[in-house]
Structure 1
Amino acid sequence: MKLLRLCLDQIGVGRPLPWNVYNDAGQLVLRQGHIVRDEAQREGLILRGAYIDHQVHGEATDTQDFHAVREHAATLWQDVRTRAETLLLEPGEAQPFRRGLKVIGGHIEFAVVHHLDESLFELLHREGRNTPAVSHVIQAAFLANMVAIRLGWPNAMVRSTVHAALTMNLASLQRQNALHERARPLDAAERTDMAEHGAQGRLLLEMLGVEDRDWLQAVAHHHPPEDGRSLAAWRHMAGDMACLLHHVDLYLAKVSSRAYRGALAPDVAARQLFHRGGGAANPFASALIKEVGLFPPGASVRLANGELAVVLRRGELAHLPEVCAVQGADGVALPQPVRRRTCEPAYKVVAAVPRGVITLPAEATALH
């Protein structure tokens, strides 16, 4: 049995494990479905070494029963992260790669239908710390799936879009992981070099047996050329799928921090994307903002009474999300998260705040 070591982000506290866990000798430590009771147990597992069966995890067939994994958003996304880190960082042979990507894409499609708000919460609040570049393409694939459905694309095109999003940075994931913590942005020469990763990714995918021309085109052209051409001209050259990937990629970059800059609040990022992208005339920016909203699940917001809260779910109206307060107006963490009714004047959402401003207590994760 070939073992794959887990990292801290892949084991959730209070959530059932989606796989059997072994020690480095291949001995069973915890069975699938076991609930890790607290942070101490989770950290102990990581320190001692927690492993899963690489074959069971990375080479699943379409006939596998994913019911236990997909029952909860948290376990589904743990499984997606672990599979994606194995598959995308070390693609391996063509057939297992395509099969593994199909499993990951299936998980994402299921999450959009059955765990939409919970998945937005998970993706915004549980970004992988060890492999941020992989976390980014997972987030992109999920948002692209949502937006493609809103745009009315046929199922086959939606599925190709998800696969394209997962693989759009295939040629540069290792480099992007390293750049994530760098204290300065790319210089002109580095930007030119990075601009080639789409074309390089297409070549890698062709070597891995991908024949879907729309998928390959989207990966090759998901970054628009810096020549000042209009959205319409670029769209005609690159195609709708590439345009959608670019807008999702750009939004996620805005709401994520880097070592040299902070993250934008989701409402600020959405407004920038909308206005700088041509406003209502841009169908991709418009559809993305309508799907995600100004205050998506997982976002941190400030309430009228000064409290800081975390969005649990989108509300029937965009400005009335379901939230729980986690920090008082005095800056002190509340003893327990408290649900607030944002329709009441005292608890009205007055602004979103950037990711990382508040730390979500473990108790709040169970509320969504």
Structure 2
Amino acid sequence: MAARLPPGNQRHDGEYEDLLSLWSDLESALSVVLSAPLRVQDFPAKVRQVDRWLQDLVAHDIDAALYLMFQLASTSSVGYSASHALVCGTLCHIMAQELQLPPRERDSLVRAALTMNIAMTALQDVLAGQREKPTAAQQDAIRNHPQESQALLERLFITDNLWLDVVGQHHASISDRVPLASQEPHDRLTRILGTIDRYAAMISPRKSRAGRSATDSVRAIVGHEVDQRDEVSYTLVRSVGLCPPGTFVRLDNGDTAIVLRRGEKANQPLVASLLDRAGAHHARPGIYQTGMTNKPRIQSALARSAVAVALNHRTMVRLGVYAAAPHNSGLMGLVTVPGAL
């Protein structure tokens, strides 16, 4: 789908075009750090640099960041380990803001998320492309990787004990019925990271299974009703929505749509309708704020594997930006030629 901007927005468009390439560059940079950490000069500084880069991209536009992140997580199993680490790091950063964690805890949490599987980066990529069950040797490596990752980080001169402790116990079972504020920092962060880790793994495809929808992933972790007493899961849903930007949904009019931006309520996002009930492409995406009177509502979430459509992510992100802007009469000027979305 070709697109043009309403007059006067060329600079804004350039910023979003850069955002898309920067997000891809960030994943590539993280992949280099994780795949050959012992060859990285000043490893601690490189991780801090990746973290700052992540913060800058999220600060630019959190909805655009979520859109790109969820598309990245759901469309490819190539470089799974780096992709998974980036999803976890991004969600932990957003969660830390929502939970108002102290800066030191926020830093330890996000950097633990980025590096928790560093001792099995290559194996994680292999497993993502493997249809067979893990071998006995692979199972041993999976079981031991938290401690091995912690030890490797120590060799790489990571001296933040909270970061190291969270990596070393990131698969530990921590009670979700105890208030976060009353838990020790390492348990509090482990609890947050554990939930994010499971959620991110479920939405990501592997050769052995397709990724689940974001909604199914939440329900697999917390059940059909999100209990406010489970602060982490409740905050996750409140932060990114039941159907986050970048995920697909079926509308009650039969259309297939992609979520562009979060709404005021977790289940009422802004969507772009891409396909009609027969699976035919719309000449122009229908933009709907779900939940509003006389507008389509979300019937169900869809896994990426259930949707056969090619997307121009630059256009989708821009559509979300302009649709969310009040009184934007130039919105449909974005879409000028029917064709590939």
Aligned residue number for residue 207 of structure 1: 155
Amino acid across the alignment from 2:150: R
Equivalent residue number for residue 104 of structure 1: 50
Counterpart in 2 of 1:248? 196
Match of 2:142 among 194, 197, 209: 194
Matches of 2:177 and 2:80, distance apart in 1: 32
Cα distance between partner residues in 1 of 2:319 and 2:28:
24
State how 1:208-357 maps to structure 2 within 5 Å. 208-224=156-172, 230-231=175-176, 239-275=187-223, 279-342=227-290, 343-357=292-306
What is the alpha-carbon distance in structure 1 between the residues aligned to residue 86 and residue 189 of structure 2? Answer: 16
Q: Report the 3-state secondary structure (helix = DSSP H, G, I; strand = E; otherwise coil) of the residue aligned with 1:301.
A: strand
Deviation at residue 91 of structure 1 after TM alignment: 1.3
- Structure 1 gaps of 5+ residues are 1-12, 15-67
**Deviation (angstroms), 1:252:** 0.9
1:79-158 to structure 2, matched below 5 A, reads 79-93=25-39, 95-127=41-73, 129-158=77-106
Name the counterpart of 1:164: 112
Q: Which residue of 2 aligns with 1:21?
A: none
Q: Which amino acid aligns with 1:156?
A: R
Q: Match of 2:216, as an amino acid?
A: V
Q: Indicate whether 1:364 and 2:313 are aligned.
A: no
Relative to 1, partners in 2 of residues 1:279 and 1:166: Cα closer, same or farther, differing over 3 Å?
same
Which structure has more relative contact order (CA 8 Å, sep 6+)? It is: 2
CA distance in 1, matches of 2:15, 2:144: 37
Aligned-partner Cα distance in 2 for 1:276–1:245? 21
The structure with the greater share of residues assigned to helix is: 2
> Which string of whole-angstrom CA distances, capped at 9 and with x for unpartnered residues, describes residues 312-340 of structure 1?
00012222211111111101222343323
CA distance in 2 between partners of 1:364 and 1:261 (Å): 27
Identity of aligned residues (%): 26
Aligned counterparts of 2:189 and 2:175: Cα–Cα separation in 1: 16
Cα distance in structure 2, aligned partners of 1:230 and 1:81: 32
For 1:94 and 1:207, locate their aligned partners in 2 and report how far apart those are by CA, in whole Å.
12
2:235 & 2:264 partners in 1: Cα distance? 17
319-328 or 86-95, larger mean C-alpha shift: 86-95
**Per-residue deviation, 1:187:** 6.0
Seen in structure 2, the aligned counterparts of structure 1 residues 216 and 276 have a Cα distance that, compared at 3 Å, is farther
Deviates more, 1:83-92 or 1:124-133: 124-133
Q: 2:77 touches 2:204 (CA, 8 Å); kept in 1? A: no
Letter in 1 for 2:49: V
1:197-222 CA-to-partner distances (Å, cap 9, x unmatched) read: 11001111101100000000011111
Query: Is the alpha carbon distance of 1:181 and 1:117 closer, same or farther for their aligned partners in structure 2, counting shifts above 3 Å?
Result: same
Instruction: Report SS of the residue matched to 1:312.
Output: strand
CA contact (8 A) 1:202 1:216 kept: yes
Whether the aligned pair in 1 keeps the contact of 2:215 and 2:301 (CA below 8 Å) is yes
Deviation at 1:236, TM superposition (A): 6.1
In the TM superposition, what is the alpha-carbon distance from 1:71 to its structure 2 partner? 8.2
In the alignment, the residues of structure 2 paired with residue 195 and residue 344 of structure 1 have an alpha-carbon distance, to the nearest angstrom, of 51
Amino acid of the structure 2 residue aligned with 1:205:
L
Aligned-pair CA distance for 1:115: 1.7
Amino acid at match of 1:355: R
Partners of 2:241 and 2:265 within 8 A in 1: no
Measured in 1, the distance between the counterparts of 2:140 and 2:176 equals 21
- CA deviations 1:42-93 (Å, max 9, x no partner) are xxxxxxxxxxxxxxxxxxxxxxxxxx99984313312211211111111135
Name the aligned partner's letter for residue 364 of structure 1.
Answer: M
Measure, in 1, the Cα distance between the counterparts of 2:24 and 2:286: 27
Partner of 1:44: none
1:195·1:223 contact (CA, 8 Å) conserved in 2? no
Equivalent pairs counted in the alignment come to: 300
TM-score, length basis structure 2: 0.79
Question: Which runs of no fewer than 5 residues in structure 2 stay unpaired?
Answer: 4-13, 321-341
User: What's the Cα RMSD here?
Assistant: 2.9
